[in-house]
Amino acid sequence: PVIHVLNGPNLNLLGVREPDIYGRDTLADIEQSCIKAAAKVEGGATVVFRQTNHEGVLVDWIQEAREGADALIINPAAYGHTSVALHDALKTLSIPVIELHLSNPAAREAFRHHSYVSSAATGVIAGFGAAGYELAVQAALIKVRERG
Ligand code: DQA
């Protein structure tokens, strides 16, 4: 299977950005852990890992996942709280979609409590830091397997 992992704004600064909230791992470290988690499954899985600070680029990448991706993991970062465009783009997909956050937005400021992505996602993983990415890869592969 092919799993697309999309990362939204400011996640390029992981490791130096508010490390008390987001941890010390960089996005490059996290990419490696996703690749490792995917390699552990029988037959292996391919990870396509990307980050952008631009909402429209995320929309383009979600549309790209319509061809060739078996599952999509997205950390929409702040756009999760603001973007109807991401919601609409995700709704066009028929593959499993996992929304992912390093922190637990429900336990933070009120403006982080609503997500436009959740209602278009198969499931949500939040609050487990960098380990959440590995959990999301596992969850994506469980869903892909279920679909046969
Ligand atoms: C985040 C949570 C969002 O509220 C925030 O805007 C981010 C990161 C997370 O991974 O915890 O940029 O998506």
Instruction: For domain 2-102+116-128, give the fold.
Output: Rossmann fold (3.40.50)
Burial of 146 (0-12, 13-18, 19+ CB in 10 A): exposed
Phi, psi of 125 (to 5 degrees): -125, 125
94 marked among binding-site residues: no
* Ligand 1 atom at minimal distance to the Cα of residue 126: 11
State the catalytic residue, choosing from 4, 79, 87, 101: 101
Q: For residues 97 and 69, is the Cβ–Cβ distance under 8 A? A: no
Ordered by start, the domain boundaries in the chain are 2-102+116-128
pLDDT per residue over 92-121, tens digit each?
999 999 999 999 999 999 999 999 999 999
For this structure, is 101 an active site residue?
yes
The Cα–Cα gap between 87 and 116 comes to 6
The per-residue pLDDT string of the chain (148 residues; one tens digit each, 9 = 90 and over) reads 999 999 999 999 999 999 999 999 999 999 999 999 999 988 889 999 999 999 999 999 999 999 999 999 999 999 999 999 999 999 999 999 999 999 999 999 999 999 999 999 999 999 999 999 999 999 999 999 998 7
Residue type, 2: V
Q: Is the pTM of this model over 0.90?
A: yes
The residue nearest atom 13 of ligand 1, judged by CA position, is: 77
Q: For residues 68 and 87, is the Cβ–Cβ distance under 8 A? A: no
